[in-house]
């Protein structure tokens, strides 16, 4: 046992001491506690060895004192914590960063640690071109200076951001105004620090004030380069370019444009927009010019505009502009009391197109030759020209030597659609077509072979094959034909009887009932052809041409007599039989009689005979008394 305990101390306790001391000294960074642990554990090991060697009780007491003392020192020792800022361990009162300097008060102990609950004050001083924006991991991340309470190891981050310059047309913004030859720019807010820089994210408002003779044109590099005022967001250094432009004048036929109308002898010109108060336009302004000819004149063309053959036209003021306007005498056309203003005019019943079209003033030059073409609208037809023109062709040529009043006549038409149902069922005379309003149309329905006309549908009604209708609207009529089939009924033999329906023509799908009635001396036997069975009445569905035969059978009467009446009996009594039937008759004598022979239509001495019924038969069974 002693040897075992000795080996336990040697191979377990010593490695345990080495591992524990290494962890405390190097992982927990507490060298003092590591030395204390080394001394205490070594003492425990030595006293334990002495006890096993000498077995002295006081060695156990000394061992307990060392153990309790070591534990007491550990728990009574004040804990210490480290402080890191921006991932750098604090060992002094100053931490220098590229963005600024951090002052730490108080500094940590010599081993770079703080005792528990030490309150450390941190002050951030940003470097030139940076701003402090906040802390992470302090007691109050939004104030500077701030504090950190060392209740455990602390990792703090000081957050800085860069500051940026604003340059307009190669001038750095220092104050609230930047001036140029063409004007000035108001800056709001101006840079807040003497370095003339802005914090990241600052929105700066820029307003241009152009000097006389200049216009602000645009920005380059702002948040909205086409607006004034505009803004610029300082998320980097900004280079802003400001463009100005000059102003220009406009003359028409030598008259300087000073407002929105220029008056000339032949008419006036509308100007939009009008020039500014100085009688000039900003560079690039597009001015719309519209010629308004006086009575008896028309606009002919421009010279010096962007489109000299258009009215209105436009002119872009990129320099001083000199425009000429040319007038001419012109004449108008009135069509059905409406002025012709464009290349076509819509009328009741159609449209009239012209080539060439009138000018923008709705007039033609003197002696202009114009082709007028009338095109009827759907539901109309062209009839003739009137007024200052005439003719029945839809195109005419008019020469303008004066104002023209032209009449065009369209006639209202309606469409008639006439169809047969079914299509193969028949035809309609004077069928589908287009007719003038008020025309009376006669329609006649003619059935095809195997059909019959039944009635009209749609915009017509009735069962007469011929109808008349007035065309006062688009109309559609349907002639309804019914498919028919022929039923042929025969009797076999012809004298054998009769059938209630002798046949004829019937509508497809109709049911025809036939009843067979036999003649005297015949009986009904069966149906043949399109009907079967032996019932005297049958129903035939007419879905095709059909032929039916009623078959009757001739009948004959057999009359049997007994002589004498009391002499015996006969197996077959008087009855009727089909022609050709074979009837067996047996005579049976009564007591005291014997059968002797047959008389009548059969002669025989046999008691049983067979008779073929090919006519009416009359026979007598003769009995005689027995000996």
For residues 291 and 270, what is the distance between their CA atoms, to the nearest angstrom?
7
Q: How far is the C-alpha of 541 from the C-alpha of 154, rounded, in Å?
A: 107
- Spell out the residues 6+ positions from residue 242 whose beta carbon is closer than 8 angstroms to its own: 168, 169, 180, 185, 208, 216, 219, 220
Eight-class DSSP state of 90 = -
Enter the DSSP assignment of 201: T
Residue 382 has what pLDDT? 95
Q: Read off the pLDDT of residues 473-482 as tens digits, 9 standing for 90 and up.
A: 999 999 999 9
d(CA 146, CA 46) in angstroms, rounded, equals 52
Identify the pLDDT of residue 589: 95
Residue 599: CB atoms within 10 A of its CB come to 15
| pLDDT exceeds 70 at position 105 | yes
- In contact, 607 and 577? CB cutoff 8 Å: no
List pLDDT tens digits, range 265-322. 888 999 999 998 888 888 888 999 999 988 778 788 999 999 999 999 999 988 889 9
**pLDDT band, residue 459 (cuts 50/70/90):** very high
Peptide bond before 255: cis, by omega within 30 degrees of 0? no
Closest CA to 572 of 504, 624, 621: 621
pLDDT for residue 13:
60
Query: Rounded to whole angstroms, how far apart are CA atoms 144 and 135?
Result: 8
Q: Is 27 left (phi over 0), alpha (psi -120 to 50) or beta?
A: alpha
Q: Identify the DSSP state of 348.
A: T
Q: Tens of pLDDT along 582-624?
A: 999 999 999 999 999 999 999 999 999 999 999 999 999 999 9
Q: How far apart are CA 469 and CA 443, in angstroms?
A: 8
Q: How confident is the model at residue 165 (pLDDT cuts 50, 70, 90)?
A: confident
| Confidence at residue 266, expressed as pLDDT on a 0 to 100 scale | 87
Mean pLDDT value of segment 36-56: 69
- Residue 135's alpha-carbon distances to 105, 155, 158, 163, in angstroms, are 16, 11, 5, 18
CA dist 191 and 310 (Å) reads 54
Q: Give the per-residue pLDDT at 2.
A: 56
Sequence-distant contacts of 201-206: CB under 8 A, at least 24 apart: 201/233, 201/234, 201/235, 202/233, 202/234, 203/231, 203/232, 203/233, 203/234, 204/166, 204/173, 204/231, 204/232, 204/233, 204/234, 205/229, 205/230, 205/231, 206/168, 206/230, 206/231, 206/232, 206/240
Q: Which tokens hold the place of 148?
A: 């950190």
Secondary structure class of 260 (helix, strand, coil): coil
For residue 431, the 8-state DSSP code is: -
CB half-sphere exposure, 397, CA atoms < 13 A: 4
Q: In 3-state terms, what secondary structure has residue 296?
A: coil
Q: What's the rounded Cα separation, in Å, for the pair 557 and 575?
A: 6
Confidence (pLDDT) at 173: 87
* H or E segment to which residue 50 belongs: helix 31-54
Residue 234 and residue 221 in contact, taking contact as beta carbons nearer than 8 Å: no
Q: Write the pLDDT tens digit of every residue in 438-452.
A: 999 999 999 999 999
Among the residue ranges 73-77, 154-158, 280-284, 385-389, the one predicted with the least confidence is 73-77
Q: According to the model, what pLDDT value does residue 116 have? A: 84
Quote the CA–CA distance of 402 and 397 in Å, as a whole number.
14
Closest CA to 120 of 130, 106, 110: 106
| Token pair 């032996």 in the structure block, residue | 534
DSSP-assigned letters across all residues of 20-47? HHHIIIIIS--HHHHHHHHHHHHHHHHH
Residue 130 pLDDT grade (very low, low, confident, very high; cuts 50, 70, 90): confident
Q: Decide: helix, strand or coil at residue 6.
A: helix
Residues 104/139, Cβ–Cβ less than 8 Å: no
The CA-atom distances, in angstroms, between 492 and each of 519, 537, 546 are 11, 16, 17
Mean pLDDT, all residues of the chain:
88
**Res. 554: pLDDT tops 70:** yes
Interaxial angle between packed helices 31-54 and 57-76, expressed in degrees from 0 to 180 and rounded to the nearest 10? 170
Separation CA 407–CA 349 (nearest Å): 13
Find tokens 């003649």 and name the residue: 519
Nearest to 70 by CA among 104, 41, 102: 41
Would you place residue 11 in the very low, low, confident or very high pLDDT band (cuts 50, 70, 90)?
Answer: low
Average pLDDT over residues 123-131: 86
pLDDT at 18: 66
Burial class (CB in 10 A: 0-12, 13-18, 19+), 610: exposed
The count of other CB atoms within 10 Å of the CB of residue 514 is 21
* Number of residues that make up the chain: 627
At residue 163, the pLDDT reads: 82
Cβ contacts of residue 451 below 8 Å, gap of 6+?
424, 425, 426, 481, 482, 483, 484
Task: Reply yes or no on whether the pLDDT at 393 is more than 80.
Answer: yes
Q: What is the mean pLDDT of residues 427-433?
A: 87
Separation CA 546–CA 57 (nearest Å): 141
Segment 544-572 mean pLDDT = 94
């Amino acid at each position: 046992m002693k040897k075992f305990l000795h080996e336990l101390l040697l191979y377990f306790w010593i490695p345990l001491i080495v591992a524990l001391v290494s962890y405390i000294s190097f992982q927990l960074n507490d060298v003092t506690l590591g030395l204390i642990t080394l001394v205490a554990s070594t003492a425990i090991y030595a006293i334990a060895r002495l006890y096993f060697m000498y077995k002295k009780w006081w060695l156990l007491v000394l061992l307990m004192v060392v153990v309790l003392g070591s534990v007491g020192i550990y728990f009574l020792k004040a804990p210490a914590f480290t402080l890191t800022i921006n991932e750098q361990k604090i060992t002094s009162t100053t931490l220098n960063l590229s963005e600024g300097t951090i002052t730490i008060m108080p500094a940590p102990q010599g081993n770079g640690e703080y005792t528990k609950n030490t309150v450390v004050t941190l002050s951030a001083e940003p470097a030139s071109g940076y701003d402090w924006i906040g802390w992470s991991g302090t007691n109050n991340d939004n104030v500077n200076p701030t504090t950190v309470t060392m209740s455990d190891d602390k990792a703090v981050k000081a957050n800085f951001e860069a500051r940026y310059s604003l340059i307009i047309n190669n001038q750095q913004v220092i104050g609230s105004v930047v001036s140029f030859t063409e004007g000035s720019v108001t800056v709001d807010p101006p840079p807040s620090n003497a370095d003339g820089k802005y914090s990241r994210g600052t929105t700066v408002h820029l307003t241009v004030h152009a000097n006389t003779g200049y216009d602000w044109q645009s920005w380059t590099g702002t948040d909205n380069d086409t607006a004034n005022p505009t803004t610029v967001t300082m998320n980097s250094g900004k280079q802003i370019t400001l463009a100005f432009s000059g102003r220009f004048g406009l003359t028409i036929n030598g008259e300087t444009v000073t407002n929105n109308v220029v008056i000339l002898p032949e008419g006036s010109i509308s100007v939009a927009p009008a020039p500014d108060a100085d009688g000039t336009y900003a560079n690039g302004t597009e001015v719309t010019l519209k010629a308004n000819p006086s009575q008896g004149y028309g606009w002919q063309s421009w010279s010096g505009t962007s489109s000299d053959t258009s009215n209105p036209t436009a002119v872009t003021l990129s320099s001083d502009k000199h425009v000429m306007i040319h007038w001419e005498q012109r004449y108008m056309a009135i069509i059905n009391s409406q002025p012709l203003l464009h290349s076509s005019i819509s009328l009741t019943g159609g449209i009239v197109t012209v080539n060439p079209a009138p000018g923008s003033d709705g007039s033609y030059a003197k002696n202009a030759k114009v082709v007028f073409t009338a095109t009827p609208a759907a539901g109309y037809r062209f009839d003739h020209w009137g007024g200052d023109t005439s003719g029945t062709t839809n195109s005419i040529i008019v020469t303008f030597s004066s104002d023209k009043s032209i009449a065009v006549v369209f006639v209202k038409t309606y469409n008639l659609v006439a169809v047969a149902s079914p299509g193969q069922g028949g035809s309609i005379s004077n069928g589908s077509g287009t007719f003038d309003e008020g025309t009376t149309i006669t329609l006649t329905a003619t059935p095809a072979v195997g059909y019959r006309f039944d009635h009209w549908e749609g915009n017509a009604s009735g069962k007469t094959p011929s109808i008349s209708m007035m065309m006062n609207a688009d109309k559609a009529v349907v002639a309804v034909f019914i498919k028919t089939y022929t039923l042929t009924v025969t009797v076999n033999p012809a004298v054998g009887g009769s059938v209630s329906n002798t046949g004829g023509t019937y509508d497809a799908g109709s049911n025809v009932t036939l009843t067979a009635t036999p003649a005297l001396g015949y009986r009904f036997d069966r149906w043949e052809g399109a009907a079967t069975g032996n019932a005297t009445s049958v129903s035939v569905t007419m879905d095709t041409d059909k032929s039916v035969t009623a078959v009757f059978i001739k009948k004959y009467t057999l009359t049997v007599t007994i002589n004498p009446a009391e002499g015996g009996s006969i197996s077959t009594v008087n009855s009727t039989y089909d022609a050709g039937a074979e009837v067996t008759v047996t005579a049976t004598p009564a007591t005291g009689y014997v059968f002797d022979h047959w008389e009548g239509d059969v002669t025989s001495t046999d008691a049983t005979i067979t008779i073929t019924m090919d006519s009416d038969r009359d026979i007598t069974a003769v009995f005689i008394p027995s000996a």
